[in-house]
Amino acid sequence: SDEIIGGNVSKYIVLPAGFCGQPKKGHLIFDACFESGNLGRVDHITEFEYDLFIRPDTCNPRFRVWFNFTVENVKESQ
């Protein structure tokens, strides 16, 4: 079932489960807090895999055919 995603992620740092401390290079920072941004949630799976949940289009909630967000803090091999 689809969960309702209310807003965009804003400078959301994705950390591995159980990680404590300051984020390191490679702990990705997702941001969609700008006009036309539509990333509602991010789940960490592995160092190289994330589940991204895109918010539905404002004018047509049945469709999720585009995406717009930024990613920061990547490391070279990522």
Contacts of 49 (CB under 8 A, 6+ apart): none
Count the helix, strand and coil residues of the chain and give each as a percent rounded to the nearest 5: 0, 30, 70
8 pLDDT above the threshold of 50: yes
Asked if residue 17 has pLDDT above 80, the reply is yes
pLDDT recorded at residue 3: 58
pLDDT given for residue 1 in this prediction: 42
Q: Give the tens place of pLDDT for each residue, 18-35.
A: 999 999 999 999 999 887
Is the pLDDT at 65 greater than 90, yes or no?
no
Dist CA 28 CA 30 (whole Å): 6
Round to whole Å and give the CA distance between 69 and 52: 11
Cα dihedral value 76, 27, 2, 10, nearest 10: -110
Average pLDDT value for the chain: 85
